[in-house]
Amino acid sequence: MNLHRRNLLQFTAIFTLMASAGLITEAQAEEWNKAAFEGKSLDEVFNALGTSTPEKSSLISMNAPDIAENGAVVPVSISSNLKAQQIAILVEKNPSTLAAQFFIPAGTESFVSTRIKMAQTSNVFGLVKADGKWLMTSKEIKVTLGGCGG
């Protein structure tokens, strides 16, 4: 059995456990099982998230550097004026396109900031699900290695 499949089965077992422990909802355990993280392209991830290509929207902002000195740590923030239920960060040229997704309960702001790995210069997409509809924004982030020392 290849590593990917074995990992997926582990996910399934773990999340079933977490769901039964009340740590995540059954819905969330289900979401993970859909292997959105296995998507190798934007389309595959959009599909796994249950949407066609989301419309671009100026109501979503992404705060991220134009150039990342090192692809290992790239700070990305997504925020929106919409009432987000879910936020996702996709990196087009990464082997696993979906970097992370976030579930926003009522009372929590439509905002998240995290740090992601980028394999190479790529478009990075910030998706927001609000009112049952996915919208997105994107930005190209250049990745450079940097050199030795410093």
Partner 1 sequence: MGDPMRIRAAENNGVVDVKILMKHDMESGQRKDASGKLIPAWFITMVNVKAQGKDVFNAEFGSAVSKDPFLNFKYKGSKGDKLLVSWIDLRGDKRTDEATVS
Partner 2 sequence: MTPFSFAQTTADEIAKYRAMLADDNPAELYEAAGEELWKKPSGPKKSTLERCNLGLGPGVLNGAAAQLPRYFSDTKKVQDLESRLMTCMYVLQGVPEKEIVNAPMQEGLKKDMDAIVAYVVAQSKGMPIHVSTKHPKEMEAYDLGKKAFFYRAGPMDFACATCHSADDKRIRLQDLPNLTTPAGAAAGWGTWPAYRVSSGQFWTMAMRLTDCYRQQRFPFPIYGSEVLTALSMYMAVNANGGTMETPGLKR
Chain contacts with partner 2 (rule: CB under 8 A): 63, 65-70, 72-73, 75, 115, 144-150
Annotate 11-33 with DSSP letters as a single string. HHHHHHHHHHTTSS-HHHHHHHH
Q: Smallest gap, in angstroms, from Cβ of residue 55 to partner 1? A: 23
State which of residues 5, 9, 10, 133 lies at the interface with partner 1 (CB under 8 A): 10
Contact 69, 143 (CB under 8 A): no
Show Cβ contacts of residue 22 under 8 Å, excluding neighbours closer than 6 positions: none
Q: Smallest gap, in angstroms, from Cβ of residue 131 to partner 2? A: 31
Residues 28-47 close enough to bind partner 1 by CB under 8 A: 28, 31-32, 37
The verdict on 99 binding partner 1 (CB under 8 A) reads yes
Q: Smallest gap, in angstroms, from Cβ of residue 77 to partner 1? A: 8
Contact 32, 16 (CB under 8 A): no
Between residues 33 and 63, which has the closer beta carbon with respect to partner 2?
A: 63
Structure tokens at 58: 């100026």
Q: Smallest gap, in angstroms, from Cβ of residue 124 to partner 2? A: 14
Say how far apart CA 38 and CA 9 lie, in whole Å.
Answer: 12
Closest CA to 86 of 28, 130, 125: 130
Kindly list the residues in this chain that would bind partner 1 in the complex (CB under 8 A). Answer: 3, 7, 10-11, 14-15, 17-18, 23-24, 28, 31-32, 37, 72-75, 77, 91, 94-96, 98-105, 107-109, 111-119
